[in-house]
Structure 1
């Protein structure tokens, strides 16, 4: 990965000013299904291959094994991409360390974890990270919500409380597990962030549900949302990546 010092040095040798403008920025969200593909095979290199196809600047990841008794898929993806990485652990037991993550071309200057667990349901959380995109701050919250409606309503309320800020552009993204278009969680998010396109991402072989979502504040900075549906992406995970382009 090319760092800021390298860019300045290269520009100096060429007699030009370094291009430090990060816009347009490509942001993706991707539920990697623990790097187990639709063929049942554990293959983190296929996830890395999909990330290479996307060539995003910032990627929010869900269902990421983070070490413990099993492999640390985030470490593997960081090595394969050369990106900065930060984890958001949702479940940490002797048998499993698991959660969300962010990979970023730009440095992560701060991160926080938001506990979204609900009763006795599977532990859930969100990773709240501040990025420095060549002097342009960007905040991204990567999450994976629960399977029951009451659970998701509780989790959306908690997440919306975290957006009480206008210090920098904020992106909320991840696998919301919400397929009820007129359900309260989506209506609450739409009223807070304004409507955004929601193409289907699940299941990856024949997408029928828009489970993976992305919102941004301010809304006018979002110029495109699309699904990445290559042959590799259809087999690498049971979700397809959702990609957004953002302007400054």
Structure 2
């Protein structure tokens, strides 16, 4: 129950696959054109994601196109911010394939951040990043990080160690995104050891969206923050389900 000393926030993380549709494994081959061309139902997919996002306070996006051919040169994070009624948004382009396709982390917020940073993540292949937004003053404020980690274990290990260093001095932190691994994998230990982030209380499968059996999308909370609920919800036509979570934070960490 929310008390005068706490505040409830509704969080959402979603790998939106740039609005492309995937409903079975064979679609990765038969519909591969949708990852390079603006055709398909991308706009209606974005509108459905905007409807979902509207009910949340802070939303982290992965695989949001920042404005290339496949999105019709639409910055999808900006589009979602306008359609869903978010006053504050930021994005971090981190992978470009010529002018045909690009990918970005994105942040939508109804709270005004006092600072936004983006950092490139280490890895054998470049093009991954973490987007940080700070709310409230000093290290006691709320820090929200959005990341999309690599498929390879060794790269993830170095990326999680890097993120751990970024978050180590922040007792009120949230890390959300597509981790491409389960929360109890060995490479996750560096994160738990360097920060006060806690493993999730229960696994919520989010991948693949048509038959979810892998919990690879996460919202991790510092020990000062309390989870009230968590559920997987459809993110339109993406191959991932979105993860929604309601949390309680100390009232003094956000204004």
- Tell me if both proteins adopt one fold, taking TM over 0.5 as the criterion: yes
Please give the alpha-carbon distance, in whole angstroms, between the structure 1 residues aligned to 2:199 and 2:16: 26
Residues 170/106 of structure 1: CA separation in 2 closer, same or farther (3 Å cut):
same
Task: Give the conservation status (yes or no) of the 8 Å contact 2:50–2:83.
Answer: no
Give the match for residue 246 of structure 1.
Answer: 247
Equivalents in 2 of 1:159, 1:123: separation in Å?
15
* Counterpart in the other structure of 1:157: 161
Distance 1:210 1:44 in 2: 27
> Is the contact made by 1:32 and 1:63 (CA closer than 8 Å) also made in structure 2?
yes
Q: Confirm or deny: 8 A CA contact 1:44 1:73 kept in the other structure.
A: no
Aligned to 1:176: 179
Measure, in 2, the Cα distance between the counterparts of 1:169 and 1:159. 15
Q: Could you tell me which of 191, 203, 208 is aligned with 1:189?
A: 191
Structure 2: distance between partners of 1:87 and 1:21:
32
Please provide the CA RMSD for this pair: 2.6
**Are the aligned partners of 1:107 and 1:132 in contact in 2 as well (CA < 8 Å)?**
no
- Structure 2, unaligned stretches of length 5 or more? 24-30, 32-39, 250-255
Equivalent positions of 1:74-85 (< 5 A) are 74-83=77-86, 84-85=88-89
3-state DSSP of counterpart to 1:139: strand
The alpha carbon displacement at 1:177 in A equals 0.5
Which SS does the other structure have where 2:241 is aligned?
Answer: coil
Residues 1:57 and 2:57 are matched in the alignment:
yes
The answer for unaligned runs of 5 or more in structure 1 is: 1-19
Which of 95, 105, 109 is the matching residue for 1:91? 95
**C-alpha separation between the residues in 2 aligned to 1:203 and 1:163?**
29
Displacement of 1:77 in angstroms is 0.9
Which range is displaced more, 186-195 or 139-148? 186-195
**Alignment deviations for residues 218-237 of structure 1 (CA, whole Å, 9 cap, x no partner):** 354222222114xxx3x421
Aligned to 1:204: 209
Which of 131, 135, 146 pairs up with 2:135? 131
TM value normalised by structure 1: 0.79
**1:44, 1:76 within 8 Å by CA — same for their partners in 2?**
no
Q: 1:92 to 1:111 in 2, by over 3 A?
A: farther
The question of 1:228 aligning with 2:233 is answered yes
In 2, distance between residues paired with 1:68 and 1:33?
14
1:21 CA drift (Å): 9.4
Partner of 2:34: none
Q: CA offsets, 1:185-232, max 9 Å, x none?
A: 233334442221320001111101111011111354222222114xxx
Judge conservation of contact 1:117–1:124 (CA < 8 Å) in 2: yes
The separation in 2 between residues aligned to 1:46 and 1:92, in whole angstroms, is 22
